Amino acid sequence: MIAFVRVALVGVSLSLVGLSAGAGLAAPSLQDVEESLTCQCGCGLTVHSCNHLQCGSALPLRAEIREQITAGNDKPAILAHFIERYGEKILSSPTTSGFNLTAWVTPFVLLSLGGAFVVITIVRWTRHRPAAAAAQPAAAAPPDAYQEILERELKDFDR
């Protein structure tokens, strides 16, 4: 029984490896490549999402993408072709190398710093502070001293 389970596991794992290796050989889908490129008409959408009926940019780009796919080029080769022709501005997301890496890292760094600031501020606001030292009562004057002051004031008042 254990041998059967082992053989079954090996068979399943080999078939999964074969499927994943074969997946890389398939031609890229038109939609996948179109979503990786930005339309150049100024709408700010991807080539796939551009909804202008007679867009002067998306329609020729779609035709060129179809030509590249029918020529047998894979997605990285197609993207490299468009980068060579239009520059990196054609990509819908920046590359993860060089200065463009800051576009990927900066939001997470700023979010982390903001979260740390909020936590530190809340901790400082809620920190238990020791109560101020209780005011020490002034040394009480002996009652005789008060009596003398009272008598002196009364004498001065009577005059």
Q: What is the pLDDT of residues 11-67, one digit of tens each?
A: 556 565 554 444 455 778 889 999 999 998 988 899 999 888 888 888 999 999 999
What is the domain partition of the chain in residue ranges?
A: 26-98
Q: Which residues contact 133 (CB under 8 A, 6 or more apart)?
A: none
Q: What is the CATH number of domain 26-98?
A: 1.10.8
The helix (run of H) or strand (run of E) holding residue 155 is helix 143-158
pLDDT computed for residue 1 by the predictor: 61
Closest C-alpha to 65, from 91, 30, 24: 30
Instruction: Say what the pTM is.
Output: 0.51
C-beta separation of 46 from 39 below 8 A: yes
Q: What is the pLDDT of residues 101-120, one digit of tens each?
A: 888 899 999 999 999 999 99
Which residue type, as a one-letter code, is found at position 116?
A: A
> Directed axis angle between helix 75-86 and helix 58-70, to 10°?
140
Q: Could you tell me the pLDDT band of residue 100, with boundaries at 50, 70 and 90?
A: confident
C-beta separation of 25 from 1 below 8 A: no
